[in-house]
Chain A
Amino acid sequence: MTENLIEVASVLAAAIAVGLGSIGPALGEGRAVAAAMDAIARQPEAAGTLSRTLFVGLAMIETMAIYALVIALLVLFANPFV
């Protein structure tokens, strides 16, 4: 039962980690894309540079969500308490 409890708690922790951890990057990515759209609307000739920078920036922001995912996976598959 104790083992089961820990497993249940691990699954819950992983879900919460991914769910909460992706809120921030989602908001951040939304802001970044909005700002990029705004900039492209203002300066269409800079669209190439802007979108390239946007992709890199999105990847950087996404990394935060990936961190949460890594933690979740650690909890699921490399849990030291299991």
Chain B
Amino acid sequence: MAFEPKILAFSCNWCSYAAADLAGASRMQYPANLRIVRVMCSGMVHPNLVMEAFSKGADGVMVLGCHPGECHYLDGNIKAQARLAVVEEMLDAYGLEPERFRLAWCSSAEAERFVEVVTEMTEAVRGLGPNPFRPTRPEDAQEVA
């Protein structure tokens, strides 16, 4: 069985989560590797939370917010961008590739963009291989068996 990455996305309620819903309503298809954690604003995502996801074995983490200027809370997304810059440094310290983390913007109408971003990310992470911190999972055990 090929490596199936597990990708976590923190999606803001107003834009990217809505885009994900719309992708469903439009029956667009994307890889089933994504797990979305709904947040009210991308500005709510603490850098430690992202790092916690990596330490628990997420192969990729995304933070998806509204386009600059369209944040429901004035500029939470801009704050997210500034604050999450530190994640790259931390990844470096952990010895993880910067491509495992991505911050992207996506409006509530941009289902297509959502699908594109998620698909790209999945493929990119698939190419990187598993997160070395990834604990052994039942499905991996099956692989060996």
Q: Does B bind A?
A: no
Residues of A within 8 A of B (CB): none
